[in-house]
Homo-oligomer: A and B are copies of this chain.
Amino acid sequence: MKVGFLGLGLIGASFARALRDKPDIDALIGFGHRETTVRAALDLGVIDEAVTAPQDLLSVCDVIVIGTPTLLAERQLIELIQASEGMEKPPILTDVASVKGNLWRAVQNLSLPAWPSQVVLGHPIAGSEQSGVHAGRADLFECHRVILTPHPENDRDAVEVVKQLWEQAGAEVVLMPVELHDKVLAATSHLPHMLAYSLVDTLAHSRVSEDIFRYAAGGFKDFTRIASSDPIMWRDIAIANQAEVLSAIDEFSAGLDRLRDAIAKGDANAMTDIFNSAKAARDRFVLTGKPPERD
């Protein structure tokens, strides 16, 4: 099997490294927008060969992994689908972007007679504070989950091939409806990023911001770690998952209003209920990796 990588950043390079030397893999072929990235990917042995245009991957690969950020991945997926129209057996197309709904809708907006059966959308729940081809690690996905959001009209073999590639990289693959993926990721990842960015931005503009940052301690550092993430990547995620991010912000704001009311009223029981519920849910999540017991 020949696997192509469109985009050779952290995720693409790590996936390629994880697949290197697996018995099924005949070649790892890459395309990168920057010449220096492509040269590094070849020098580091991340890929075996490079092509000079994304479309060139179509004729030489069995599977193409689009490893570019959210909005670019959307455009490239559409371009690859269009460029592979008329191919007798087009390669499987998959991706690693943080939002799935925008890709899904972009494909549907092509108004093809049916969902292109070789297109299997996916999202590895793994990352690193580092980025770029040099940060690629063969073990990045080990013991991490990869969510695939297959379409009912997907070729079952195509889904199976993508699943097995991720499993060979050490990941646990789960299948999920695209709407659920975007709702769950909005809650666990997109919303926390928005809160952390918004908090730090607000404090940076405070009248006493100098004292605030001078006396902030370890808890603040942990809590705001994700506010050091790439602004462009997160702008694109907020754009791509707009509806779910807004809905997550609104649910959060309603919850914060309830806590604010409890504090304003000095309602010790209401505060304790909220804090206990949160502590129990998080402790359970950390200890067992399981969701909280329902009331």
* Closest chain B CB from A283 CB (angstroms): 6
Say yes or no for A82: interface residue by CB 8 A criterion.
Answer: no
Contact in complex: A189, B217 (CB < 8 Å): yes
Complexed CA–CA distance, A166 and B156 (Å) = 67
Cβ contacts A to B, 20 pairs, < 8 Å: A144-B217, A185-B215, A187-B206, A194-B263, A197-B275, A198-B255, A198-B256, A204-B280, A209-B281, A209-B294, A213-B290, A221-B285, A223-B226, A228-B283, A231-B272, A234-B275, A238-B263, A242-B263, A246-B263, A250-B260
Residues of chain A touching chain B, judged by Cβ–Cβ distance below 8 Å, are 125-127, 144-145, 147, 174, 176, 180, 183-185, 187-189, 191-206, 208-217, 219-229, 231-232, 234-235, 238-239, 242, 245-246, 249-256, 258-260, 263-264, 266, 268, 271-272, 274-286, 289-292, 294-295
* Closest chain B CB from A165 CB (angstroms): 20
Contact in complex: A198, B228 (CB < 8 Å): no
Copy count, this protein chain: 2
What residues of chain B lie closer than 8 Å to A289, measured between beta carbons?
213-214
What residues of chain B lie closer than 8 Å to A232, measured between beta carbons?
272
Q: Which of B184, B255, B283 contacts A211 (CB 8 A)?
A: B184
- Tell me whether A256 and B195 are in contact in the complex, defined as CB-CB below 8 angstroms, given that A242-B263, A275-B234, A281-B203 are known contacts: yes
What residues of chain B lie closer than 8 Å to A184, measured between beta carbons?
208, 211-212, 215
